[in-house]
Amino acid sequence: MVGKNQAKIFRVGLLGLALVFAVSFSACGDSESSKKESLNAVPEKPLFNGVVQSVVGDAHVKTADSHAKSLKVGLSVHEKSSIVTEAGSSVVISVDDGSALKTDGRSEMAIEVTKADELKARMTVALSHGKLLFDVQKQAVKDEFEIRTENVSSVVRGTAGFIENVDGLEISSLKEGRLDVTVKTGTAQSVKSGQTLIANTNGVKILSLASSGTLILARALDSIATGAATELGVRAARLNLDKLEPMLLEFDEAYKKKSEAFIKSSQIEFKPKVLNEYIGKPSVTLEALFIPGSLVSVLGIVDTIPESGLYKRTFEWADSTAFGPKHFVVNCSNGEVEYICHTWHTNFVSAKMAEVLTKANERKSTAAKDTVQPKKLKPSIVIEGSGRERIHVLPEERDIPATLRFSVAGLMGSDLSQIKKIIVKRKGVVVKTFADDELMTNSFKLPIRLKQNRIAHFEIVATFVNGKKIKARKVYETYCFFENYEDGKKSNRINDMTAEEEYKNVVSKRLLKNE
């Protein structure tokens, strides 16, 4: 009996032990399986891919877990990160679509990306303080690229300039393109090429400045704003904008004189190599000849031209599917002033498509060379802005600087040699002739001066080697309703008229005349 019971207990013990081993083995198996799944899991693709291209001085990145590390060239930066630079420092980050962001001086910006759906993304860069220079490629139709300061939000598409926050004085300044700006007070403004918006608790002003969008203005604003604030004993956030405006205009007037002299002496010296109209990989190599010792900046990267006079740099972007038009704005500088001396344009397509389109262009080019007459072209002149542009000016603005920008559309890269000359007429008189080396690009610009309450008529005529001519016209209307300003001073505004109401009064009283 005892032996039977002992045998039974022994069998039950073996059974229990077997169950323990089975459960343990199963748990180990699950654990190993879990580990394998974890190792094989595909990491979630970041919505923002940035790569550090340049670092000067002390800068670091802070991630969502508050971890901070020093920034180095080649380091990747993703959303939910903050870039911090100290005084005298700067960082250039290339974005995966070919855009570029540059923080300068003591600055901090945070990067965030949200996705409404599979087709729409919104990238937001929040600048808490300091300055951020940007050169943004044209965004996909539904995507948005937003830059925010404390009280100002700016949506950009294919735009170059800077945003700055100086102790509560918030600035949006454009070198080219357009910004749709919204201020927390509910004010919505459109900032265009050559304009600078300043805003604080006392309101909003938009100024036309020759230095708009430049790093020189961005850095000067620090001392101008803080100096004015110290003198008046207030924070920059509470500066009277009417008192700040003449300081900025004084700086800009000096800048303009230096800039005009530099442009005159150097503009014809910049000789770019034509870029292929179509590229099949996310990179371009830009080449040009320029004055040795001069500075050339593209996408925030500054190069000093060597003794050979050859500028050459390759730019790459991370997203191999970011197809569409790409532009590369070239800023020429002598360290004191800068201007856009050229813009390279190309179209990023698939490798196969680039091959097909390039071969087609080569066949057309070869066919043209085999004929006596130049090939038949169907180009057109495209002028920036509408054919009739209105510019609202203040009473003191009698001599208004502007830039006539236009391009010859419908040409392949090899077709540029078919242009013989381009002349610009004002009131029927030739004021500028583009010829020879100036025809190595299809984008042109001409600095002009306009008079208050006058209508200026411009005509652009492009002549081709086969004798064909194409024309386009541009009309500027500059207007100011003097009766709305007591003693002709902008600070003595009588009625709260909109710009449109002022224009209607100027027209109805026949104050707007042809120059």
pLDDT at 374: 44
The three-state secondary structure class of 346 is strand
Question: Token match 């070198």: residue?
Answer: 175
Over residues 65-109, the pLDDT tens digits come to: 767 888 899 998 888 889 999 998 999 999 888 889 999 989 999
The three-state secondary structure class of 141 is coil
Q: Work out the pLDDT band at 360, boundaries 50, 70, 90.
A: low
- Alpha-carbon distance 443 to 270, whole Å? 14
- In the DSSP assignment, the letter for residue 258 is H
pLDDT at 490: 65
Cα three-residue angle 114-117-120, rounded to 5 degrees: 70
| Residue 297 host element (H or E) | strand 295-298
| DSSP annotation string for 144-190 | EEEEE-SSEEEEESS-EEEEEEETTEEEEEEEESEEEEEETTS-EEE
pLDDT at 119: 58
Instruction: Write the CA distances from 464 to 79, 207, 253, 277, 423, integer angstroms.
Output: 50, 39, 39, 20, 12
CA-based max dimension of the chain: 129
Is the pLDDT at 118 greater than 70? The verdict is no
pLDDT at 243: 87
Average pLDDT score over the chain: 81
Instruction: Write the CA distances from 138 to 48, 99, 114, integer angstroms.
Output: 16, 9, 18
Cα three-residue angle 286-291-297, rounded to 5 degrees: 45
The residue among 322 and 255 whose pLDDT is bigger is 255
Instruction: Write the CA distances from 254 to 19, 260, 447, integer angstroms.
Output: 90, 10, 17
The residue among 389 and 139 whose pLDDT is bigger is 389
Is the pLDDT at 39 greater than 90? The verdict is no
What is the three-state SS of 87-120?
CCCEEEEEECCCCEEEEEEEEEEEEEEEECCCCC
Over residues 258-274, the pLDDT tens digits come to: 988 998 889 888 999 98
Structure tokens at 226: 């803080």
Q: What average pLDDT does this structure show over 359-372?
A: 57
Beta-bridged to residue 158, according to DSSP, are: none
Beta-bridged to residue 324, according to DSSP, are: 348
